[in-house]
Structure 1
């Protein structure tokens, strides 16, 4: 079981389903969700390194700042997050260009389709 997981997604139903999947599999001691990138970034900037999430499940398509904006921002402090935070894109997108674009970020450990299922959860567990 990992210590802390973040879900960053503006879709309440998706957050609910992802949370239920994580909780039912005892995936993390603490699961926090953020409906916008701004709140998640604020939290990450104001916590000590030892409290960083082990896993971040990140949606790409959100208003104002999106998942790509989130990745650009945390990549500016890559050394702080690399090896501590494992970011997994969790999206409904089927665009192969987005999957390819995600590989350009060292902090991204996988590109998963919504809804989160058991095979995706197993993939995350192995990667962490």
Structure 2
């Protein structure tokens, strides 16, 4: 299961990757410090390489998480059913939860910092994509 981590905060990227590894994720994890970099990489590798999970920060400079999601709309058919996006945010705003429903590729919102419960939630929602470690 290829996982993308998109966050402009290097500490958040590091911690999220460590939690995923601690929870038994052994597949490739690609960290991106900008949404633009992630979008370029994703679009240049479709349809052969599709991440099973994207953990996406909302508050980033230049291109924020919402703009990234808008930019993914042309790729929705190639990603549907193959890629689950989780917004990883420190925001508790109900407006974010409501807005996330406008994006079919968004599977849920996980509050920072990513922890064992967040990883288990991803496994529950995308079970065949994220099997529990044996």
Corresponding position of 1:79: 77
Task: Structure 1: state its 5+ residue gaps.
Answer: none
**Conservation of the 8 A alpha-carbon contact between 2:35 and 2:63:** yes
With normalisation by structure 2, the TM-score equals 0.90
Corresponding position of 2:35: 37
**Conservation of the 8 A alpha-carbon contact between 2:46 and 2:78:** no
Q: Distance in 1 between matches of 2:112 and 2:48?
A: 29
**Conservation of the 8 A alpha-carbon contact between 1:56 and 1:86:** yes
With normalisation by structure 1, the TM-score equals 0.95
Corresponding position of 2:51: 53
Identify, as 1 or 2, the structure richer in strand.
Answer: 1
Corresponding position of 1:98: 96
Residues 28 and 53 from structure 1, CA distance in 2 versus in 1: closer, same or farther, beyond 3 angstroms? farther
**Conservation of the 8 A alpha-carbon contact between 2:7 and 2:32:** yes
Q: Distance in 2 between matches of 1:6 and 1:22?
A: 11
**Conservation of the 8 A alpha-carbon contact between 2:35 and 2:65:** yes
By how many angstroms is 1:18 displaced? 0.2
* Cα distance per residue 1:74-126 (max 9 Å; x no partner): 12221111111100000001111011100110000001100011111111011
Aligned residues: 126
Q: Distance in 2 between matches of 1:4 and 1:30?
A: 5
Structure 1 counterpart SS, 2:82: coil
